[in-house]
Amino acid sequence: MKITPVISILILVFVRCQPAAERQTNSGTADTRPNILWIVADDLGTDLGCYGNKTVYTPYLDQLAKEGALYENLHTTTAVCSPSRSGLITGMYPVSIDCHQHRTPFKQSLPEGVQPITAYFKEAGYFVSNRSFREKNKKGKTDYNFIHHFDSLYDGTHWGQRAQGQPFFSQIQISFPHRPFYNDTLNPVNPAEVLLPPYYVDHPLARKDWAMYLETIQLVDVEVGKILKDLEADGLTENTIVFFFGDQGRPHIRGKQFLYDPGTNTPLIVRRLNGEGANQWSGQLVSNIDIAAASLALAGIRIPDHIQGRNFLDKDQPDRTFLATMRDRRDETVDRIRAVRTTDFKYIRNFYPERPYTQFNAYKKYRYPMLTLMRILYKKGELDEIQSRFMSDVRPPDELYDLKNDPYEINNLATNPEYSQQLQSLKGQMDDWLEKYDLGEYPEDPRAIKAAEELMQGRFKRNMESIGLSPDISDEDLLNYWEKELLGSTENYVHEN
């Protein structure tokens, strides 16, 4: 019998409307497909105990890593949330689906044939949910940079709303360690013990800011522990595959919004069923668009041909040889940077070398105390050569880093003749990738840029006035504010039972 589109829809409706306890597979057995849970932290670098940071206290995540596999080289396609999350939920590069400009005022629908992976889970009979950690019934962060409606993408906010026995694909969004940071009063981090990167100046404000970042990561750990306990209390641990990762890297200078490792590298821990892969470490290159592909495969759902992510859990599939990452307009700050990263090297191309790295950005002006401090010290000539480089008024068109010998990415080898072969090879890989995947419009519509500027100017003014400051405040006065705010009293996190 030929199955018409109308009959297909009726069959799908019948399957969804069956009580889950009565739903059967083709073999006549109960539906035992695994549940898939994504726990997503906001702005999280690889600063966890299980990743080797001895200053931070993350017992729940450390235990999760023992029960699962830890991936050292997950990199998000971008280092800011809306493009990164757009790629995550579609399995597509943001530049391939016109989602690369951060929170564009003129969102478009996804290209024809492309849809969020929630649609494929729904079609397969999964209950699909997304919630904020703090409240079970509060809709979770999407921030997708395309036209979407939460109630169309998701069936609800919590796996408890599904039909009995129905498998689920759920996301839980943790807002930490996104700024503002909080003190963890139960396990304070001593600022004197934190390890600052060499491109940071060693200053009490820097140490306090970094310590509070680590303490806020500890609060991520607390919330992950509660989620895992809820899963166990509901009897779901044994049949739920857990992914833990961040939507991008650290919310620090040279991190978030940029394509150095701190901006794109975030933890990835995958706990599979029956102890598979337990207590394993992997150095393979993984893009966050690969998480979509792997999740579909684990649920037994065919990965659509258009998806650019790959199932990194498939041992029969060769590992990636390189990763591509990208930066475009972030808030009101116009930029364009592309990078390709192998296990050993990274090549960065700056399309606006005449512009400073630290172009004005209202969000960072309001939230990043170290940016203000380093601007002042740079003007005074009190930064060393490494610290000064990122504060310069210009930047090189090409950057090349030996990641094994220079993990902080501070020694640019692009003009070193000894590395010309690596440079030309990576430039060729980037050119090929740009031609195949970078389908965005450049330059961006000036109307969108202007709308973003007006939005951020208004937001900056309101934010500054909310803390009693003028938006025209001098760097010196803003630094005085931060020193009083961070080196004096700070807001504490309230631990809940």
Distance of CA 172 to the CA centre of its chain: 14
CB count in 10 Å sphere of residue 414: 19
Q: Answer yes or no: are the C-beta atoms of 290 and 71 closer than 8 Å.
A: no
With contact defined as beta carbons under 8 Å apart, do 101 and 80 qualify?
A: no
Structure tokens at 300: 């037994």
The count of residues in the chain is: 497
Q: In sequence order, what are the beta bridge partners of 243?
A: 38, 270
Based on DSSP, count helices (H) and strands (E) in the chain, helices before strands.
14, 11
Distance, in Å, from the CA atom of 164 to the CA atom of 162, rounded to the nearest integer, reads 6
What six digits make up the tokens of 315?
């041992």
Query: Residue 431 contacts by C-beta under 8 Å, 6 or more apart in sequence?
Result: none
Please identify which residue in the block is written with the tokens 């070193």: 416
Contact at 8 Å (CB) between 205 and 487?
Answer: yes
Is 99 marked active-site?
Answer: no
Per DSSP, the three-state class of 346 is strand
Query: What's the first-to-final CA gap in the chain, in angstroms?
Result: 58
Q: How far is CA 378 from CA 21, 351, 381, 385, in A?
A: 66, 24, 5, 10
* Residue written as token pair 């490792």: 261
Beta-carbon contacts of residue 139 (< 8 Å; ≥ 6 apart): 130, 131, 132, 150, 154, 157
Let me know: does 187 contact 493? Beta carbons within 8 Å. Answer: no
Please pick, among 17, 50, 81, 99, the residue that the annotation labels catalytic: 81
Which residues are known catalytic residues? 81
